[in-house]
Amino acid sequence: MSDLKNKKQILLTGIRASGDIHLGNYLGAIRPAIARQNDFESYFFVADLHGLTTTPPAEELKKNVQSITAAWLAAGLDTKKTILWRQSDVPEVLELCHILTCLTTMGLLERAHSYKDALAKSKTVKAGLFLYPVLMAADILLYESDLVPVGKDQAQHLEMTRDMATFFNETYKPFFKLPKALILDDVATVPGTDGRKMSKSYGNGIDLFAEENVLKKQIMGIKTDSKGLADSKVADEVVIYQLFKLIASESEAAEMKRKLEAGNYGYGDAKKELLNKILDSYGAMRKDFTRLISNPGDLEAELRRGGEKARQKASKIIKQVKEIVGLAS
């Protein structure tokens, strides 16, 4: 292992800059990470390099970075306790990515879910998507991460990170620690409006910081079966209820479940209740987001400060890595 010592374990997470923050991003990554920012040495980054895999227009990528940064801050991230930065502001991650690429087999990358999904959809798979797990591994290993909050769909990529760290340690010398996944079972997979995992690529998200009319349209568009108002519903199979219980209290969730199963409570009623719960629960956060996103200069300053701190750590690690593999540093 490296000789950098920390009293606290290191927690790292990042969100790809590929659109607005949806409820799944918040519940699966932002909320659990911020809840633990006092317990760990925390590193949170906006993954704009990962955002390039879909080759968005330049202005769209910049907007996505600002949106994600504002979301982190509105949700309660304290930059005095944690480090928040833009991935591309630390170019050392690309150096480590190339070194790990030279150690990683095609076979391992071909087993990645992201690559298989792209093939299944008959997409032309670009090298950036194929190498996505390697860049993710570089993100994690560069900061000596102990824990990485991930959804169940990302757990495989973390296992691949551990594989790459092992390849390095066995090829050269023991250096990288093997990070562990932090998976919260109750929010590991957040359903989208069509019942599949909520994902920007599926277009089934509920955008947490969207204007109220947009948010309402998304929630009212949640797919349901053909059961009528008077019919009893199986609550655990209803996407509206699955989402509601993730943000409501136990008693509130139990009451919606009771009404769905008793009948004379329609899907439209449940959707209105879900909308009101989101507006009530996240009203203050949504207001802060609006204030933050209207001041892009302040967001940029926060990212720059965080990038300087992140690079201090990254430069020390990459210097040691380059010495180990025989590169000039």
- Rg of the chain over Cα atoms, rounded to whole angstroms, equals 21
pLDDT higher than threshold 60 for residue 225: yes
pLDDT higher than threshold 60 for residue 4: no
Between 58 and 4, the higher pLDDT residue? 58
Neighbours of 268 (CB within 10 A): 12
Amino acid at 22: H
Instruction: Classify residue 1: in a domain, yes or no.
Output: no
d(CA 219, CA 207): 10
Mean pLDDT, range 49-57, rounded to an integer: 94
d(CA 12, CA 33): 8
**Same structural domain, 58 and 115:** yes
Cα–Cα distances (Å) from 130 to 91, 142, 158, 254, 295, in that order, read 20, 20, 15, 43, 36
Instruction: Classify residue 101: in a domain, yes or no.
Output: yes
Which token pair is 45? 């980054």
In 128-208, beta strands by DSSP E:
147-149, 180-182
Mean pLDDT, range 42-59, rounded to an integer: 95
**Same structural domain, 184 and 218:** no
**Same structural domain, 139 and 285:** no
**Same structural domain, 129 and 272:** no
Domain coverage including residue 20: 10-190+296-325
- Output the CA angle 108-28-48, nearest 5 degrees: 65
* Closest alpha carbon to 279 in 218, 216, 224: 216
Instruction: Classify residue 199: in a domain, yes or no.
Output: no
DSSP element (H, E) containing 78: none
Q: Comparing 18-22, 254-258, 291-295, which segment has the lowest mean pLDDT?
A: 18-22
Backbone angles phi, psi at 227, to 5 degrees: -65, 140
pLDDT of residue 154: 73
**Same structural domain, 184 and 249:** no
Instruction: Report the CATH number at residue 274.
Output: 1.10.240.10
**Same structural domain, 166 and 84:** yes
Instruction: Classify residue 142: in a domain, yes or no.
Output: yes
d(CA 237, CA 252): 17
**Same structural domain, 21 and 114:** yes
Amino acid at 20: D
Mean pLDDT, range 11-23, rounded to an integer: 91
Residues 320, 97: contact at Cβ < 8 Å? no
Mean pLDDT score of the chain, rounded to an integer? 93
Mean pLDDT, range 86-101, rounded to an integer: 98
**Same structural domain, 227 and 183:** no
pLDDT higher than threshold 50 for residue 213: yes
pLDDT of residue 3: 41
Instruction: Classify residue 201: in a domain, yes or no.
Output: no
pLDDT of residue 14: 92
Percent of the chain with pLDDT over 70: 95
Strand order in the sheet with 41-47: 82-86, 41-47, 10-16, 147-149, 180-182
Mean pLDDT, range 140-157, rounded to an integer: 86
**Same structural domain, 306 and 222:** no
d(CA 317, CA 11): 17
What is the pLDDT confidence band of residue 184, given thresholds at 50, 70 and 90? low
Instruction: Classify residue 204: in a domain, yes or no.
Output: no
**Same structural domain, 14 and 105:** yes
What is the pLDDT confidence band of residue 267, given thresholds at 50, 70 and 90? very high
Give the contacts of 170 (CB within 8 A, at least 6 positions apart). none
Domain count, the chain: 2
Instruction: Report the CATH number at residue 45.
Output: 3.40.50.620
**Same structural domain, 172 and 254:** no
Which token pair is 329? 């540093």
Instruction: Classify residue 127: in a domain, yes or no.
Output: yes
What is the pLDDT confidence band of residue 2, given thresholds at 50, 70 and 90? very low
Instruction: Classify residue 32: in a domain, yes or no.
Output: yes
Amino acid at 61: L
Neighbours of 190 (CB within 10 A): 22
**Same structural domain, 89 and 108:** yes
What is the pLDDT confidence band of residue 44, given thresholds at 50, 70 and 90? very high
Mean pLDDT, range 196-212, rounded to an integer: 92
Percent of the chain with pLDDT over 90: 81
Residues 74, 20: contact at Cβ < 8 Å? no
pLDDT higher than threshold 70 for residue 6: no
What are 22's strand-pairing partners?
207
